[in-house]
Chains A and B, each alone.
Chain A
Amino acid sequence: MVDTASASDVTRESGRVGQRRRPFRQRLGRAATPLLWIGPAIALIAVVVLWPVVVMFRTSVQHFSPNGFLLGPAGSKNFKNLFDEPDLPGILERTAVWVVVVVCVTMVLSLGLAQLLNQVFPGRRVTRWALIAPWAASVLMTTLIFRWALDPNSGVINLFLKDIGVLKSFGSNQADWLGRPQAAFVWMMVVAIFVSLPFTTYALLAGLQTIPTELYEAARVDGASTWRTYRSITLPLLRPAFLVAALINVINVFNSFPIIWAMTRGGPGHETATTTVFMFQLKEAYIGESAAMSVINFGLVIVVVLVFLWATRWREQVT
C-alpha cells in the first residue's frame, strides 16, 4: 500500500513538472494517448456502424439497376415509390402487431419463468441450463426446425395434432399452417416468442436476485400475502431489469428477419412480411426503394425507442 501511494505521488509530481516544461507537441501527444486505446473501437464503430448508415441514406436517394449499377440520383423518387406501394399500410400494421404481441407475451411468460427459476427446487440447475438451449441455438436453426415440424405431410406438430384428433388429414389446407397467411403469422410469433424467452428470463432472473431477502422477510413479518409481496416488492424492484429487457426485445423483435424469411419469405405476396422483411423483398429488384425502406425502419426504431424511454421515465428508473 505504502509503495503504491508513494509511486502515485511521484507520478503526480513528475506530471506537474512535466506539464510546465513539456512543449505543446508533447502535451498533445499525451492527450492523444488514450486514443491509442479507444481508437480501434472507434474505428470499428465508424466502419461497421456509422459508415453503413451513411451509405444507406445515400443509397435511398440514388437510382440503381437491379444488378447494382448506379444509374444516377433519384431524389425523393424512391420514397415516393415506397409510399405508393399498395401493400405498405398492411405491412406497417403487421409490424406493429408483431412487435407488440411478441414483446408483451415474451415479457409476461418470462416473468413467470424467472420467478420459477428463482425458487429452490431439485433440478434447478438443469432447468436453467435447458432454458439456454433456444438461446444458444441459431435462430435460423430453430426456425427451420419449426418449419419442418409444421410440414403439412409429415411435420411432427401435425402428427401430434392428428393423433389428438384436431387435424383431419395430412396435406390438407388445414395442415398447411405456413401456407395460410394468418396461421403462418401466428406460428411465426410463437417462434419469435420462443427464441426471445431465454434472454428475457435471464435478464429478469438477474433482476430478481438483486432484490434483498430482508425485504421479503420484513413483508412476511408484516403478514403480507404472496400476491401483495409480489406487487409491492418484487415488481417495483424488478422494474429496471424489466425495462431493459423489454427495450432490447422491442429492438430485436422489430429487426427480426430470419424467422419470417425462413418460414414464409414474407409471402404469399407480402402478406406475412414486416417492414424488415419487406425491405429485403424490395432489395431483389429495387435497391433504392429498399434503402428508402431501411431509412424508414431506422427512423421507426429510433422513434419507438425514444417513445419507450420517455414513457417509462427511463432516466429515473434505470440509471
Chain B
Amino acid sequence: MRRGLVAAVALSAGLAVVLSACSSSKNSSSSGGSGGGAGGNTTLKLVAADYGTGPSNTSQKYWEGIASDFHAANPNITVNVQTINWNDFDNQVKTQVQNKQYPDILEGDFFPDYAQSGLLYPAKDVTSPSTFSNLLPVFAKLNTYNGTQYGMPFTTSARTLFYNKKLFQQAGISSAPQTWADIQTDAAKIKALGKVGFGLPLGPEEAQAESLLWFLGDGGAYQDDSGKWVINSSANVDTQHFLTDFVKSGVTEPNPGTKNRTDLWKQFAQGDIGMINGSPALIPIIQAGGKLTDSDWASVPIAGKSGPLDKTLGVCDNVSVFKTNSSKQAAITKFVDFFYQDKYQTQFVKEYFLLPATNSGIKALSSDPTFGPFLKALPNSVQYPNDPVWTQVKTQIQQTIATSLTQDPKKVLDSIQQTATKGS
C-alpha cells in the first residue's frame, strides 16, 4: 500500500490541490546530501513529494521553512530540500536509489523493498521515544516490514459524509443523516427538489473506496482482523443488495457504475447533490466552486446501517530514513523530531487539506471547525489491505463492482473474492 495517499487521494481524484500539482513543473533544487561528519557541519538531504498546485503553495516552501527554522536552532546542521511532483515521484526516487544517491530522509510513498534491502533505519532508531509514540499507531502496520516499523506516517486523509445544509433545509430535514434509513429518506426528499439525493461514485476511478465505506456500514470489510479475505461475506452481499435497491429508487445519480468521484464532487460543489462521501480534499473544490458558503455544507461521520460509524477509510503518506552515513544518525533524529512538531503538522494540514499523522496533531486540530469532524474516526481508520494481490483485487473492484447493481451481487463478489484468495 505504498501508494497510499497518492492513489487514493492525490492522483486519481478531483483534489484540485494535488491534481494540478501533477501538471505543475517539477520543483527541484540542487541536491546536496553528501558530507557531514562528527563535530563538524552536517548536511542532510530531504526528498519530499510536492503536494502544491504551483509555485505559490509548493511543498518546497513548506520544507524550506522548516529547514531554515531548524538551521537557526541547530547552526551546524543544514537541510537541503528537494521536492518532486507526484507524477514523477516514484520514478525519480527509484532512479536516485538505483544510482545510490540516497536521500537522508524521504517523504512520500513508503517502499517496502527498500526496507527489505536494508537501506532504511527502523523508525525507532531515528526518532526520540516521544516522537515515535506520538505517531498514529493505526498506520504502523502499513509501514512495517518483517515485524519492524520502518516508515512513519507523515500526512493522512480520511472520509466523512458531506451534506448540503441548504438543500436539507429546503427539503425540511432538520438533522444530519446517521443511518442508511436516514440516507434513503433524506435522499428521496432532496430528489423531490429536482436534485440528486446521494452521489454514489461507483465508476472505475475509485469504486474501491466508496464500496469499502458502505461495507464498513454493515460491519463488513475487504479483510477481517486476521487478514483473511471476506469480500463475499454475507454482510457485504447484503450491502450490495441495499445499494441495488437504493439506486433503483432513483435517488442517486443515474447509472452510478459509470460515475466517478471527480465529477460528482464537482457537482456537489455546484450544489446539485444532497449528500456524498468525501475527504478534506473536497473542501477546496467546494471553495473553488463558489456556490456553497462554509455554512451551506457540513461533514459528519459516515452513516452506517444502524448508526454513524466510529471508523472510516484512512490513507497516509510516509517518511522513511536512509542509512546513508552513521555519523548523520543523531542529526537526522534531531530533524525528524523537529518537523513532527504540532505547528508543522497543522501548517501542512491547512495548506493542503490533508490530516495530521500524530496524536498531538489530532488534539491540536480537534476543535477546528473544518478539520475537527474528520479527526474523530481517523485514529481507528481502516486501510486498504496490505497485500500484493490488492492491486488486482482493486482493479477488479473498480471495473466490476458496479455490475452487482444490475446482476447478482453474490456472484460479482464471489468472483472478486476468488481473485483475492488465488493470490498474485
Contact = CB atoms under 8 A, between A and B. Distances in A.
Given A267-B204, A268-B258, A286 B392 contact: yes
Nearest to A179: B255
Interface in B226-261: 253-255, 257-259
A273 to B, nearest CB: 9
A297 interface: no
Interface string A177-197: 011100010000000000000
A173 B399 contact: no
Interface in B188-211: 196, 203-204
Interface residues of A, number: 25
A172 interface: yes
A267 B254 contact: no
A66 B424 contact: yes
Interface in A60-75: 65-67
A171 interface: yes
Contacts of A178: 258
A286 B396 CA distance: 10
Given A152-B254, A179-B255, A66 B399 contact: no
A264 B260 CA distance: 11
Given A65-B424, A265-B204, A286-B392, A179 B254 contact: yes
Nearest to A273: B399
Given A179-B254, A268-B257, A285 B395 contact: yes
Nearest to B90: A67
A144 to B, nearest CB: 13
A267 B203 contact: yes
A285 B406 CA distance: 24
Contacts of B204: 265, 267
Contacts of A270: 399
Given A66-B424, A171-B196, A281-B399, A264 B391 contact: no
A269 interface: yes
Which of A179, A180, A269, A270 gathers most chain B CB within 10 Å?
A: A269
A261 to B, nearest CB: 11
Interface string B127-162: 000000000000000000000000000000000000
A66 B3 CA distance: 13
B403 interface: yes
Interface in B387-408: 388, 391-392, 394-396, 399-400, 402-403, 406
A153 B395 CA distance: 29
A222 interface: no
B167 to A, nearest CB: 14
B403 A65 contact: no
B317 interface: no
B254 A171 contact: yes
Contacts of B253: 152, 171, 176
Given A171-B196, A269-B402, A269-B403, A66 B392 contact: yes
B272 interface: yes
Interface in A260-301: 264-265, 267-271, 281, 284-286
B146 to A, nearest CB: 19
Contacts of B267: 153
Contacts of B400: 269
Nearest to B2: A67
A179 B392 contact: no
A211 B257 CA distance: 53
Contacts of A267: 203-204, 257-258, 399, 402
B390 to A, nearest CB: 9
Contacts of A264: 258
Which of A66, A171, A265, A267 gathers most chain B CB within 10 Å?
A: A267
Interface in B267-311: 267, 272
Contacts of B272: 153, 171
25 contacts: A66-B391, A66-B392, A153-B267, A171-B254, A176-B253, A176-B254, A178-B258, A179-B257, A179-B259, A180-B255, A264-B258, A265-B204, A267-B402, A268-B203, A268-B255, A268-B258, A268-B402, A268-B406, A269-B257, A269-B399, A269-B402, A269-B403, A284-B395, A285-B396, A286-B392
4 A-B pairs closest in CB distance: A179-B255, A268-B257, A66-B391, A285-B395
Interface of A: 65-67, 152-153, 171-173, 175-176, 178-180, 184, 264-265, 267-271, 281, 284-286
Interface of B: 196, 203-204, 253-255, 257-259, 267, 272, 388, 391-392, 394-396, 399-400, 402-403, 406, 424
Given A65-B388, A153-B267, A172-B254, 9 more contacts: A66-B395, A171-B272, A176-B254, A184-B258, A267-B203, A267-B257, A268-B255, A268-B258, A269-B399
